[in-house]
Amino acid sequence: MSTLRFALPDAFTLLNAFPTNRDWRLQSGDAVQAVFDWTKTSGRGFFDGVTVGMRTLLDWIEVALVGTPWPVVALIFVMLAYLSGGARVAIFTGAALAYLGLLDFWEKAMTTIALLGAAAMISITLGIPLGIFCARRPKAFAVVRPVLDFMQSMPSFVYLIPVVAFIGSGKPAGVVATMIFGSPPVIRFTVLGLQQVPSAVREAALAFGATPRYLLWRVDLPLARKTIMAGINQTILLSLAMVVVASLIGAKGWGEDVLEALQYAAAGQGILAGLAILFCALILDRIVAGRK
């Protein structure tokens, strides 16, 4: 076929382009749009409830972070860094927070962390129980795994399309998009950690009369703790990346600075905002990861 394609390019027009029809794409798009419209109309109460719940949670976190005096918030972060990672991590955290404050990134940093905190809190709260359920029921995990693959394979910008279609633009939509994007790691790592618990340890606990609840809380979860924490860490960092992208649909925070820098080719301002995001990611990573 390749020989015919190059030797006689005009003789076999079928080989020059894939047979298609533009109307097929338009009709398929109209069908997908009809499904979206029907889902939005039928589930209006559900989507309105999600929006109100997200906004309420986000408002509470923003009040705690933005409304609290900055020395108190900075001291809390430094103390968490010291308790989790030691003196060096605390010093780095203090220096990074000083960078955010001196370059006027403080309020946007707290807004971004509020969005991140709301999304990560929901992802972790739902992800760990789902991971425990899937680890104990392989058939359920066989159903959930393709969904997780789909969620991790889809580009981050594509998440914004259905979220805007069902919820609209703004901060609640940013939280939902971030939650969906950041959920898979904590679920996968929870399943992996529980599957790696030595069977001999579980059998010994059962032999001594351990109940299923005792086995879960005193044997499985403590032994899987490091793996689960790695999943939580990945969820938080992925959520931070998605929060920046979510500025395209009206979510506030650092994404606005990065987007503005791209629009006006302001390389200097973009680099400063990028460093602020980097420092925030490192702070969260060190606090969650703890001492190595």
Structure letter (DSSP) for residue 292: -
SS3 67: coil
At residue 17, φ and ψ (nearest 5 deg) are: -150, 150
Sequence-ordered alpha helix ranges (H) in 137-210: 138-153, 156-166, 171-195, 199-207
Span between the terminal Cα atoms of the chain, in Å: 58
Number of H helices, E strands in the chain: 15, 0
Reading the block at residue 266, the tokens are 């302001």
Taking the C-alpha atoms of residue 232 and residue 123, their distance in angstroms, rounded to an integer, is 9
Lowest mean pLDDT among 9-13, 18-22, 122-126: 9-13
Q: What is the pLDDT of residue 22?
A: 77
Structure letter (DSSP) for residue 265: T
Taking the C-alpha atoms of residue 172 and residue 184, their distance in angstroms, rounded to an integer, is 20
Taking the C-alpha atoms of residue 123 and residue 184, their distance in angstroms, rounded to an integer, is 9
254-266, pLDDT tens digit by residue?
Answer: 777 777 777 777 7
On the question of pLDDT at 94 being above 90, the answer is yes
At residue 258, φ and ψ (nearest 5 deg) are: -65, -45
Lowest mean pLDDT among 72-76, 216-220, 285-289: 285-289
Reading the block at residue 123, the tokens are 């992802």
What count of other Cβ atoms lies within 10 Å of the Cβ of residue 224? 23
Q: What is the pLDDT of residue 16?
A: 65
On the question of pLDDT at 143 being above 90, the answer is yes
Looking at the chain, the whole-number percentage of residues with pLDDT higher than 70 is 93
Q: What is the pLDDT of residue 78?
A: 93
Q: Count Cα neighbours of 4 within 13 Å in the Cβ-side half-sphere.
A: 7
Taking the C-alpha atoms of residue 174 and residue 166, their distance in angstroms, rounded to an integer, is 12
On the question of pLDDT at 13 being above 70, the answer is no
48-52 contacts: CB < 8 A, separation 24 or more?
A: 50/167, 50/172, 50/176, 51/167, 51/168, 51/172
Asked if 128 and 141 count as a contact pair (C-beta separation under 8 A), the reply is no
23-53, pLDDT tens digit by residue?
Answer: 888 888 888 889 888 888 888 888 888 888 8
Taking the C-alpha atoms of residue 160 and residue 157, their distance in angstroms, rounded to an integer, is 6
What's the chain's average pLDDT?
84
Q: What is the pLDDT of residue 139?
A: 92
- The residue type at 247: S
Reading the block at residue 20, the tokens are 């298609």
DSSP codes joined into one string, 203-227: HHHHHTT--HHHIIIIIIHHHTHHH
Instruction: Sketch the domain layout of the chain as residue ranges.
Output: 1-42, 44-289
Reading the block at residue 218, the tokens are 């005193």
Looking at the chain, the whole-number percentage of residues with pLDDT higher than 90 is 25
- 221 vs 15, which has greater pLDDT? 221
CATH architecture of 44-289: Orthogonal Bundle (1.10)
154-171, pLDDT tens digit by residue?
Answer: 877 777 888 888 887 788
